[in-house]
Amino acid sequence: MSQLSMTSDERQKFLADVHVGVIAVDRDGRAPLAVPIWYGYEPGGQPYVWTGRGSLKERLIRAAGRFSLVAQHEKPPYRYVSVEGPAEFDEAPTADIVRGLAARYLPADEVDPFVEQAYDDNAIIIRMRPEHWLSVDYGQGA
């Protein structure tokens, strides 16, 4: 492990913090799709994202069977965690799962109105079983 790599505990704690993530997934004959997304994660668990059934993200992840998620801290000292693994699909997530994800990113008084507007029976949760991790923390030893 390089001097700048995070330990397993450090990278899991970092990923559990609130960041806008970027997912990346292969697509045939083109550069991978890479888009920002809200995600959920608790140390030791599975990162997950919420999208609409039939969305480009969902179709590409389903076809590839896996995806990557990157979270970063954009101010010095720069840090990032990247995790990659196979996808599992929750075809019928509850509004509470979506509410919990929205609560990570929105002020408390905006969560319910957001979920009422954005959640429908087209929602799908895509979980990842983490297999490969990369991380860097340029603040180590500072």
Query: How far does Cα 89 stand from its chain's mean position?
Result: 14
Q: What is the pLDDT of residue 65?
A: 97
**In the chain, domain spans:** 8-137
Q: What is the pLDDT of residue 45?
A: 96
Query: Could you tell me if 35 and 22 are in contact, meaning their C-beta atoms sit under 8 angstroms apart?
Result: yes
**Model-level pTM greater than 0.75?**
yes
Q: What is the pLDDT of residue 28?
A: 87
Q: Among 2.40.50.140, 3.50.30.30, 2.30.110.10, 1.10.10.10, what is the CATH number of 8-137?
A: 2.30.110.10
Low-confidence stretches of the chain (pLDDT < 70) are: 1-2, 141-142
Q: What is the pLDDT of residue 139?
A: 86
Q: What is the pLDDT of residue 3?
A: 76
